[in-house]
Amino acid sequence: MVAFLQVALAGVVTGSIYGLLALGIVLIYRTTGVLNFAYGAIGAVCTGFMAILMMGPRLPFGLALLGALIFSALLGMGLERSFARPVLRAPVFTKAIATLALALILETVAQQIWPQLSQAVHFSSPFATASVRVGGVYIALIDVVILLVTAGVMVALQLFLTRTKLGIAMRATADNQDAARLMGAPVGNISLLTWGLSAVIAALAGILLASRTGLMNLSFLDPVLILAFIGAVLGGLESLPGALIGGIVIGLLDNLLALILAGHSLGPLDISDPGIRQALIFGGFVLVLLFRPQGLLGQATLRRV
Amino acid sequence: MLRIEGLRSGYGPLEVLHGLNLTIEEGSFVAILGANGAGKSTLMRTLVGLVVPRGGHITFGDRIIDHVSPERRLRAGLALVPEGRELFRSLSVRENLLMGAFTRPGGRSMEEDLARILDYFPRLKQRLTAAAASLSGGEGQMLAIGRAMMAHPRVLLLDEPSHGLAPTIVDTVFAVISQLHQRDGLTVVVAEQNAKKALSVAQHAYVLQGGTIALSGTAAELSQTAAVRELYLGG
Amino acid sequence: MSDPASASPRSAPPSAWLRSRWAGWFIAGVGVVALLLVPSTYDALYGFQAGFQLHRISLIGIYIIAALAQNVLTGYAAQPSLGNAAFFGVGAYLLAWTNTDLHQPYWLGIVIAMVVCALLGLIVGGPALRISGTYLAIATLGLVLVTQSLLDLWDKTNGRQSYDLTQLPLSLGDDHTLYVFIVVIVVAVLFFVRNILQSRVGRAWVAIRDNEAAAEAFGINLTTYKLLAFVISALLTGLAGALYATWATTASSSSSSADQTIAFLAMIVVGGLGSIVGSVIGAIFVGFLPLLLQQLPAIVSAGPIRIQVTTLQSGIFGLLLLLALIFFPEGLRGIVDRAGLLMRRLLNRHIATGASEGVER
Ligand SMILES: Nc1ncnc2c1ncn2[C@@H]1O[C@H](COP(=O)(O)OP(=O)(O)O)[C@@H](O)[C@H]1O
Ligand SMILES: [Mg+2]
């Protein structure tokens, strides 16, 4: 039982990171219709910036974090102006492939500026080794931090989007941009804010993951990004809580399957292999979409075809 | 209140309005009639600044507003209920109304405004937390009007408020518009294909044809004009 | 009176021959001959390195087939599927299996790869019809990842480091022969796709893409035609995958990666959705541009600044891709269309002036 809890908890923690990334993906998709394949690169560049701040000028963790978050907000807004604007009116696939190009550019530029980040570097964090005990379960401090930050981001975002004027305007813009403009909402600045906000979330996800594993490089979020995408679609692509839940479900499944399949084999086939696990998860995901083509929390809408 | 002189407007190479002249007195109820494609929506969109005019002048109060942004025109008191309602479908009724007041300061006065507007629309009051997508056509049109009213306009422009509604619902919608006009002293401009209905509530009317005003007069006069009877009132 | 244009019964405009059937064949023929001459050009250019360069050029041909397959599915039948790399990988592995383990003749391996992929296309396409838009894209992307995991697993359970094709026909080991072989297949595939698109099937796809409800009202069976698109696309991608295994002399699970499948989409987006020419241009863009960038000098120095160009390659590629998308959001085929229009106009004027001189009395 304790082992099960331990594993489930680990699943929720990794899932939270997928969920955070999924949140940012959905945020941008809803407001600008961009399926952002550069999202991992954005998070990695911001995490890299923080690693550099800690390695170079030897800033303490807190200051470096602050620096990285400010950097991410600026990067996100800069990308909105330089990248998202010019492709805004392009067809949806063109926009998606453009983000792919953006990812290549971002990674190359970052590599030129910080060549040391092309290899894995140590990412130190004050939560690295400590752990707390809850009941019979040991939880690494970093895992507690991840859960708290994720919950915090979700709650703050939800409050912002439903309780503040600007947040409601943001949802209104995502829903009907022309009407939002008619109401006098600053549609351009809202798009700027969306990109800034989602870049901050990418940075947080990257920093949390790097703090957990103690390592990072400029492509360390690429494999995670696909899982985040799947989490986002599983949750319904339109719904922020859905995105978070979708991400957590993926993380949880991965860890639980690992526990269940461990040490078993089917004839010559070693089913504890991570490949089997992945195949099961992706296969399950496709099955879910067959029965709920709009994801778990998405509503069947007639708009946005 | 609103004076339009020699207005030319359109989209890209296509010019739709070719030098339009029109005056709307403060506190009046004006109907703009015209067939499908006559340019009624283009006129409405040009008035609120969604389409940039290529010639002529629009004077609102004592200011020329040709190059004023849509947001500033809204703040100055020019609000549009767009064709097809254009609601925020995934937002609640209440949130739609709040969006209408985006240009206004928040706080206590906002809640008072909301209560005042909802008095006109008892149906909406019952469905405040429902998603706008779940409203019926009539309720949706009410919400679109209420949303525009939240901006405290001095002139309310409505683009085909009867479109797609059953005749009894059309009557209700126009009754509400008349109420707003009478009780609040609001200036109202309705663009309509449904000439019969529009002429029954408006004081003045203009007929838009070929990008200019072809006919104008009081609603009573126009209802008697042979041309209007033939074209729009079915003989 | 002797003017041939005015004498012809339909009095076709001067440029009509350019659009006529025979001109099409003529241009295609010239193109094929030119392509077949490429090897000798390379011999002259690169000497003993020619084989190596040519080998890399052959890859573009394989990409062209894959891009055509993606375009049939996405650009014509409007199914935004990101699943094609699954068939690409399966095609490669099937050829490796029949070739290396089952010792079957090469051509049989190719046929098996195509047939099995077509069947898989049918199996995937059925359920895929229930999902639309972005959901379909990510769901099929999931399918690619499942395929990759399973292929990996197959390698692992058999203790393989790599799945090499050991029984390939010797002639295909020669870069020149391989090149000609691929050119011939690409031309055949182009011909096949062009004919399908001009047939009832192609018209049905376009009708469905432009207005699904209207197409259905005209009695077009949506399910049948969409499924057909999945099947044909899978079949062609399976062929491309098998050729890729031939080209690389090994099958690897990276053929079924997210990167690979997105690359297929990138090809048709940058080239032009719903266009044969666009597929070819896109495949060349994605396949040839990196080769060109590799030809850049490794280090550029301007005064004290030394720039390591080698590490910039993927960034430059990204930048060019982005610029192409910004300036040609409907695809680079726009350039070709415009060039064609210009040529036709020039030709018209030329012929017109020639003709008017001819009829002067
Ligand atoms: N966004 C647009 N872009 C181009 N042409 C438009 C646009 N909207 C309307 N038009 C054209 O302008 C003309 C007038 O349209 P509109 O103002 O909508 O007429 P009405 O509202 O009276 O039916 C029509 O010919 C229509 O095709
Ligand atoms: Mg209209």
DSSP states along C157-187: HTT-S-EE--S--GGGGSHHHHHHHHHHHHH
Is the pair B, C in contact (3+ CB pairs within 8 Å)? Answer: no
User: Chain centroid to CA A31: how far?
Assistant: 17
Whether residue C358 has pLDDT greater than 50:
no
Q: From its phi and psi, is residue B129 left (phi > 0), alpha (psi between -120 and 50) or beta?
A: alpha
Reduced to 3 states, what is the DSSP secondary structure of residue B52?
coil
Q: What is the least distance, in Å, from the CA of C340 to any CA of chain A?
A: 24
Per-residue pLDDT, averaged over B67-72, amounts to 90
Give the pLDDT confidence score for residue C360 in this predicted structure.
Answer: 40
**Quick one: which of C274, C228, C247, C45 has its CA closest to C125?**
C228
Calculate ∠ Cα C270-C275-C279, nearest 5°. 50
From atom 13 of ligand 1, which residue's Cα is the shortest distance away? B37
Q: Using CA atoms in the order A173, A174, A179, A181, what is the torsion angle rounded to 10 degrees?
A: 30
- Beta-carbon contacts of A85 under 8 Å, excluding residues fewer than 6 positions away, are none
Q: Which helix (H) or strand (E) holds B3?
A: strand B2-11
Residue B86 Cα, ligand 1 centroid: separation in angstroms?
17
C252 confidence band (pLDDT: 50, 70, 90): very high
User: Are C138 and A86 a contacting pair at CB < 8 A?
Assistant: no
Span B8-20, pLDDT tens digits: 999 988 999 999 9
Q: CA quadruple C15, C17, C18, C21: dihedral positive or negative?
A: positive
Span A78-101, pLDDT tens digits: 999 998 888 888 888 888 999 999
Span C3-39, pLDDT tens digits: 444 334 444 454 555 555 666 677 777 777 777 777 7
- Beta-carbon contacts of C209 under 8 Å, excluding residues fewer than 6 positions away, are C76, C77, C78, C274
Span A7-45, pLDDT tens digits: 899 999 999 999 999 999 999 998 888 889 999 999 999
Whether residue B149 has pLDDT greater than 90:
yes
* Residues paired with residue B212 on neighbouring β-strands, in sequence order: B209
- Beta-carbon contacts of A194 under 8 Å, excluding residues fewer than 6 positions away, are A27, A28, A31, A32, A80, A170
Which of A93, A225, A277 should be substituted to probe chain C, the one whose Cβ sees the most C Cβ atoms within 10 Å?
Answer: A93
Give the pLDDT confidence score for residue C1 in this predicted structure.
Answer: 37
Cβ atoms of residues C91 and C81 within 8 Å: no
Cβ atoms of residues B161 and B173 within 8 Å: yes
C206-214 long-range contacts (CB < 8 A, ≥24 apart) are C206/C76, C206/C274, C208/C77, C208/C78, C209/C76, C209/C77, C209/C78, C209/C274
Amino acid sitting at position A152: G
| CA C314/CA A105 separation, integer angstroms | 7
**What token pair was written down for C84?**
């094609």
pTM: predicted TM-score of the whole model, two decimal places: 0.85
Task: Please report the domains of chain B, with CATH numbers, ordered by start residue.
Answer: 28-49+71-232 (3.40.50.300)
Least confident interval from A54-63, A79-88, B223-232, C233-242? B223-232
C48 confidence band (pLDDT: 50, 70, 90): low
Ligand 1 pocket, residues with Cβ under 6 angstroms: B 11, 14, 16, 34, 36-42
Say yes or no: A101 contacts chain C, CB-CB below 8 A.
yes
C218 confidence band (pLDDT: 50, 70, 90): confident
Span C185-216, pLDDT tens digits: 999 999 999 999 999 999 999 998 888 888 88
Is the pair A, B in contact (3+ CB pairs within 8 Å)? Answer: yes
Cβ atoms of residues C216 and C222 within 8 Å: yes
| CA C284/CA C290 separation, integer angstroms | 10
| CA B224/CA C52 separation, integer angstroms | 88
Q: Is A128 exposed, middle or buried (0-12, 13-18, 19+ CB in 10 A)?
A: middle
A297 confidence band (pLDDT: 50, 70, 90): confident
Say yes or no: B81 contacts chain A, CB-CB below 8 A.
no
Closest ligand to the CA of B163:
2
Say yes or no: A258 contacts chain C, CB-CB below 8 A.
no
Nearest by CB: A169 against B50, B87, B102:
B102
| CA C57/CA C289 separation, integer angstroms | 11
Whether residue C40 has pLDDT greater than 90:
no
Q: Which of B40, B42, B212 to mutate to test the pocket of ligand 1 (most atoms within 8 A of CB)?
A: B42
Span A111-124, pLDDT tens digits: 989 988 888 999 98
| CA C31/CA C141 separation, integer angstroms | 35
| CA A228/CA A20 separation, integer angstroms | 8
Q: Which helix (H) or strand (E) holds B9?
A: strand B2-11
Say yes or no: A303 contacts chain B, CB-CB below 8 A.
yes
Whether residue C230 has pLDDT greater than 50:
yes
Nearest by CB: A101 against C131, C134, C322:
C322
User: Are A183 and B89 a contacting pair at CB < 8 A?
Assistant: no
Least confident interval from A68-72, C92-96, C168-172, C241-245? C168-172
| CA C177/CA A3 separation, integer angstroms | 60
Whether residue A197 has pLDDT greater than 50:
yes
C115 confidence band (pLDDT: 50, 70, 90): very high
Cβ atoms of residues A17 and A208 within 8 Å: yes
Whether residue A137 has pLDDT greater than 80:
no
- Beta-carbon contacts of A286 under 8 Å, excluding residues fewer than 6 positions away, are C127, C139, C142, C143, C146
Q: Please provide the average confidence, as pLDDT, over all residues in chain A.
A: 88
Cβ atoms of residues C208 and C77 within 8 Å: yes
Q: At what angle do helices A274-291 and A240-261 cross, to 10 degrees?
A: 140
**What token pair was written down for C123?**
């199996």
Span B73-103, pLDDT tens digits: 999 999 999 999 999 999 999 999 999 999 9
Give the pLDDT confidence score for residue C342 in this predicted structure.
Answer: 83
Say yes or no: B106 contacts chain A, CB-CB below 8 A.
yes
Phi, psi of B206 (to 5 degrees): -125, 140
Cβ atoms of residues A271 and A264 within 8 Å: yes
Amino acid sitting at position B41: S
Q: Which helix (H) or strand (E) holds B11?
A: strand B2-11
Cβ atoms of residues A222 and A40 within 8 Å: yes
Per-residue pLDDT, averaged over A137-158, amounts to 92
Q: Which helix (H) or strand (E) holds B190?
A: strand B187-192
Q: Please provide the average confidence, as pLDDT, over all residues in chain C.
A: 83
What sections of chain C are H helices per DSSP?
4-7, 16-19, 21-46, 50-70, 84-96, 106-128, 133-157, 175-198, 200-210, 212-217, 222-248, 258-271, 276-294, 313-327, 333-358
Token pair 């690429």 is found at A222
A279 confidence band (pLDDT: 50, 70, 90): confident
- Beta-carbon contacts of A267 under 8 Å, excluding residues fewer than 6 positions away, are none
**What token pair was written down for C133?**
């838009």
- Return the domain boundaries, chain A: 13-222
Q: At what angle do helices B93-100 and A165-175 cross, to 10 degrees?
A: 100
Q: CA quadruple C288, C292, C295, C301: dihedral positive or negative?
A: negative
